[in-house]
Amino acid sequence: MAKGLPKRSEDYSRWYTELVLRAELADYAPVKGCMVIRPYGYAIWERIQSTLDRMFKQTGHVNAYFPLFIPESFMTKEAEHVEGFAPQCAVVTHGGGAKLEEPLYVRPTSETIIWSMYGKWIQSYRDLPLLINQWANIVRWEMRTRLFLRTTEFLWQEGHTAHATETEALEETVKMLEVYRTFAEEYMAVPVIKGVKSESEKFAGAVRTYCIEAMMQDGKALQAGTSHYLGQNFAKAFNVQYQTKEGKLEYVYATSWGVSTRLVGALVMAHSDDNGLVLPPRLAPIHVVIVPIFKGEEERALVLGKARALADSFGPETIVRLDDRDNVSAGWKFNEWELKGVPVRIEIGPRDLAKGQAVMVRRDLGEKRAVPLESLKEVVLRELQDMQGALLHKALDFRQASTKRLDDYESFKKQMEEPIPGFVDAGWCGSAECEAKLQEETKATIRCLPLAGQPEKCSCIRCGNPSERRVIMAKSY
């Protein structure tokens, strides 16, 4: 195997791209800006998908599927929505060899087509709430792309719910944000800050956008999920009204929320090291790899027999791979599984067997440890659990160490030029103009107005005007 990824400290961006390619998570597609998700990358996405799908169903949602094509006239019904999305859209003008009467947009998100259908399905308060999720691909034409983080086509889920009251819709928006936080922290082992986007960063067509923001190892922020309160904007655009218990007609309240294959990129960037991927056990496609070591037929039969018995001793929850290939060396296998981030590696050879033990290596620690065969399974299961928690703690410690509370603009500008700029907790006056200037001058953006804690009056870090609260600023993906 070709050795040596670029080091994170030398070129984080190249390290990431090389890692994604070499670990066979994804590859570049013939069409610029698109990517092929390879089986190992897709296996991670499948684990993300199945976990979230279960969480959505536990909170009362059902899945459906809406078409890829959206008539142009639908897109233009919500003014802010079309203004925000039209420049990024792919539009189909011909079909079946003829020019279409009405151009069709390839969905950049599905609010419009879904709300056109909700207009047919919602008549009475009895039809509410309507809690639908869709797993789909979407297209947003991107000029500058990066595997998983920003691609022209990507996979995602989009929840679209309809409610009788504003209170209920707001509760749903916040509830799904909490589902995303739980998933990010308990499964991805990535700590996140829950917050609200500024007006200029909110979703086109939303009243308010909530988000979770994560910190990557280069001190940049990554928006890992969003949940939008859409008010009655789409109900009005598509004339979706329902009859209340009292017989009055009212517009329906809406939410939408989504996460995408970008999470795979976040997972890679949050935990991996200079030797390859480090995957949290709860999302790793393979939990344990067993590498048998032998010379000659006699040893081979002995070692492989024991290794197979060991692999079979785990229950279906633990995915164990016995690497019995004999066309590559043990050392080659070690490197490959390290690159692929398998949480636990077990090495087993004749000398170990004679001592009644095997050697275990946890991917995040890298130290070899001899473990008696009779307790190996228990030890491995415990290590998998410990590793899940250790990754979250490590990421949390890093975020804390890389978050600064600053009050003067010069220090802020200097901080944004550091190799690891991190998060800055600072005051902001609330003006869009100041926000735009701040971005122009420092490349940082206001990531969110955090939900936790009490708003604290201070001064805007850029203009010095009074600020009602502190916000999180950072460079971002």
- Residue of 90, 379, 429, 458 interacting with Zn ion (CB under 5 A): 429
Q: What residues between 121 and 140 interact with Zn ion by CB under 5 A?
A: none
Name the phi and psi angles at 401, rounded to 5.
Answer: -70, -25
Cα angle 181, 184, 187 (rounded to 5 degrees) comes to: 125
Q: What residues between 85 and 104 interact with Zn ion by CB under 5 A?
A: none
Least separation in angstroms between residue 202's CB and Zn ion is: 19
Residue type, 429: C
Number of CB atoms found within 10 A of residue 347's CB: 20
Least separation in angstroms between residue 432's CB and Zn ion is: 10
Instruction: Output 69 or 409, the one with its CB closest to Zn ion.
Output: 409
- Is 90 buried (19+), middle (13-18) or exposed (0-12) by CB count in 10 A? middle
Do 412 and 406 touch, CB atoms closer than 8 A? yes
Do 109 and 228 touch, CB atoms closer than 8 A? no
How far is residue 214's CA from residue 266's CA, in Å, rounded to a whole number?
8
For residue 248, give both structure tokens.
């009055």
The interface region with Zn ion, picked from 355-363, 367-375, 403-411, 455-463 by CB under 5 A, is 455-463
Least separation in angstroms between residue 469's CB and Zn ion is: 13
The helix/strand count (H/E) of the chain reads as 14, 25
- Is 287 buried (19+), middle (13-18) or exposed (0-12) by CB count in 10 A? buried
Least separation in angstroms between residue 470's CB and Zn ion is: 13
C-alpha 41: how far from chain center: 13
The interface region with Zn ion, picked from 12-20, 172-180, 181-189, 460-468 by CB under 5 A, is 460-468
- Residue of 277, 371, 460, 473 interacting with Zn ion (CB under 5 A): 460
Least separation in angstroms between residue 429's CB and Zn ion is: 3
Instruction: Decide if residue 286 touches Zn ion (CB under 5 A).
Output: no
The interface region with Zn ion, picked from 29-37, 78-86, 255-263, 463-471 by CB under 5 A, is 463-471
Instruction: Output 200 or 244, the one with its CB closest to Zn ion.
Output: 200
The interface region with Zn ion, picked from 57-65, 324-332, 382-390, 431-439 by CB under 5 A, is 431-439
How far is residue 362's CA from residue 377's CA, in Å, rounded to a whole number?
14
Say what angle helices 39-58 and 166-186 make with each other, to 10 degrees: 140
For residue 80, give both structure tokens.
């802010």
What CA–CA distances, in Å, run from 308 to 168, 266, 296, 303, 340? Answer: 54, 35, 18, 9, 22
Instruction: Output 27 or 408, the one with its CB closest to Zn ion.
Output: 408
How far is residue 53's CA from residue 351's CA, in Å, rounded to a whole number?
46
Do 360 and 375 touch, CB atoms closer than 8 A? no
Instruction: Output 147 or 434, the one with its CB closest to Zn ion.
Output: 434
- Residue of 236, 463, 468, 477 interacting with Zn ion (CB under 5 A): 463
The interface region with Zn ion, picked from 66-74, 220-228, 300-308, 423-431 by CB under 5 A, is 423-431
Instruction: Output 136 or 460, the one with its CB closest to Zn ion.
Output: 460
Least separation in angstroms between residue 456's CB and Zn ion is: 16
- Residue of 23, 434, 444, 471 interacting with Zn ion (CB under 5 A): 434
Number of residues that bind Zn ion (CB under 5 A): 5
Residues forming contacts to Zn ion in the complex (CB under 5 A) are 429, 434, 460, 462-463
